[in-house]
Amino acid sequence: MSIDHRGATRKANTIHNKSSSKKGYLFLTVILALTIIGAFLVDNKPSQPTRTRINLPLNSSESDALKDQASGSLTNLNRTESTASNQQTTTDNAAGANNISTPSSLSDETNQTVEWQNIEVKNGDNLSLIFGRAGLGPREVHHFVSSNNNAKLLRNIYPGQTLSFLIEDNQLHRLRYNKNKFNMLEFTLAGDSFESETITRLPDIVVKQSHAIIDNNLFLAGQQAGLTQNTIMELANIFSGVLDFALDPRKGDSFTVLYEELYLDGDAIGNGKILAAEYINAGESFQAFRYVDSQGDVGYYNENGVSMRKAFLRAPVDFTRISSNFNPNRLHPVFKTKRPHRGIDYAAAVGTPVFASGAGRVTASGYSKANGNYVFIQHGPSYVTKYLHLSKRHVKKGDRVKQKQIIGKVGATGYVTGPHLHYEFLVNGVHRNPRTILDKLPKAKSLGKNALANFRKQTKQIAMQLQMISGQYANTSKDDSNDG
């Protein structure tokens, strides 16, 4: 078989890595290294047997989810996905073997010493210069460019990219333009002209697991368990309909998460999607499973097929931004008396974005001495949310807002001693506890009968896996485990 071929492919990619290793890559590499180390630490626990290796087809409808998660390698990954569907023939090949193993008549029929030559594009380069460095003259350049329309694409090469040449008897037999890790354009000499082929590679996907016990907060626990920042955020997002990560987590809470790690040529290139997760809050278990419905829409559902997404956010501020918790029995910081406090205070730095907790219409956006800058939002006929003490307001009366749209920034305007968001939730004009009211509101969307059957089928394996890991940890931490 084509050993040279494979070797060259690997080499080409390595060079590509190095050549584009500006700050972004360095940063990514550090993150990845930490992720891997962390993952191994976790994997040394009793989790080993549950590690599986699967190749899931990435379809383009999932690009959003991936976009949210895969940090630095974003552009590459998206590109892979968008081209994946129309490159079925070549991707199968690439994804499985991690190497481009297109049939190589050249290396099979001729001696094995013909090797790929990788040439890096430098500043101010053009095709003639690059061909020259590969040992090819102007005639070869002309022959190549004039014999295939796609060769024109090589006018748009960038420093850091590589061109790989397969030359024999001073004649170019094959040229591979490595656009990025995932996309290549390969030209092969056929008779007197060149044929071209687009090659798209998909990353290998390894399902990894992580388990952690919360000591301080979710973020630290996640980091210690080797999760990337994006995966931790994703985890918090998934459960944000049922848990308020600013206020709910307690010491001793734990989570288990099954997520994808993406590899190319054996190198970890980033984290993919979260497939399933469990969070145990004060002994109560919350589970979430990723499900792609028949329309291709992606969502997370609990074990009974009830959507994790609610009409209202648990908290209108990002949990990672909260610096302290609210004490409902405190004295009023300004008036030094116990006054009825009709909302929740989220302490956060000035400038922290404040989200509309649900879709609705802005009924007030103004300033008063007590409230400082404030925004009120009406959600349907029954519900109103209020946001006080803002430093900035980004909406005006009458505006329509979407859930999680930024409506202002945390501030310290009005009667306050420090920057925080005061958040109120009213049902039919009555103040309710924003933390607990959500559980009393109409239930989130549940999957219908058919969808539920599909959901169970799709998540069966991952659910078993989650159950198993979760069980292992439950057994090590306490004697009895519930089997719900």
Question: Which residues are near Zn ion by CB under 5 A?
Answer: 345, 422
Beta bridge partners of 28: none
Question: Closer CB to Zn ion, residue 342 or residue 361?
Answer: 342
State how far the alpha carbon of 397 is from the alpha carbons of 166, 400, 401, in Å: 66, 9, 11
Q: How far is the CB of 420 from Zn ion (least distance, A)?
A: 7
The residue (of 303 and 424) whose beta carbon lies closer to Zn ion is 424
Among residues 174 and 422, whose Cβ is nearest to Zn ion?
Answer: 422
CB of 345: closest distance to Zn ion in angstroms?
A: 4
Q: Which is nearer to Zn ion, 173 or 422 (CB)?
A: 422
Backbone dihedral angles phi then psi of residue 146, each to the nearest 5 degrees:
-85, -10
Provide the minimum distance between the beta carbon of 254 and Zn ion in the complex, in angstroms, as a whole number: 31
Min CB(383)–Zn ion separation in Å = 19
Listed in sequence order, the residues at least 6 apart from 297 whose beta carbon sits closer than 8 Å to its beta carbon are 61
Choose between 152 and 336: whose C-beta lies nearer to Zn ion. 336
Residue closest to Zn ion when measured from CB atoms: 422
Neighbours of 212 (CB within 10 A): 21
In contact, 322 and 348? CB cutoff 8 Å? yes
Cα separation, 443 vs 164, whole angstroms: 58
* 424 strand-pairing partners: 386
> CB of 231: closest distance to Zn ion in angstroms?
33
What Cα–Cα distance (Å) separates residue 93 from each residue in 201, 204, 445? 8, 12, 40
CB of 418 to Zn ion, least distance (A): 11
CB of 421 to Zn ion, least distance (A): 8
- CB of residue 32 to Zn ion, shortest distance in Å: 42
Cβ closer to Zn ion: 45 or 431? 431
Q: Please report how close the Cβ of residue 282 comes to Zn ion at its closest, in angstroms.
A: 24
Q: By C-beta, is 100 or 313 nearer to Zn ion?
A: 313
Residue with smaller CB distance to Zn ion, 386 or 422: 422
CB of 341 to Zn ion, least distance (A): 6
Contacts of 108 (CB under 8 A, 6+ apart): 1, 2
Pick between residue 194 and residue 374 the one whose CB is nearest to Zn ion. 374
Residue closer to Zn ion (CB basis): 181 or 422: 422
Q: Which residue, 387 or 473, has its beta carbon nearer to Zn ion?
A: 387
Residues β-bridged to residue 423:
344, 387
Tell me the closest approach of the beta carbon of residue 422 to Zn ion, in angstroms. 3
Q: How far apart are CA 59 and CA 69, in angstroms?
A: 15
Min CB(370)–Zn ion separation in Å = 11
Whichever of 152 and 335 has its CB closer to Zn ion, that residue is 335
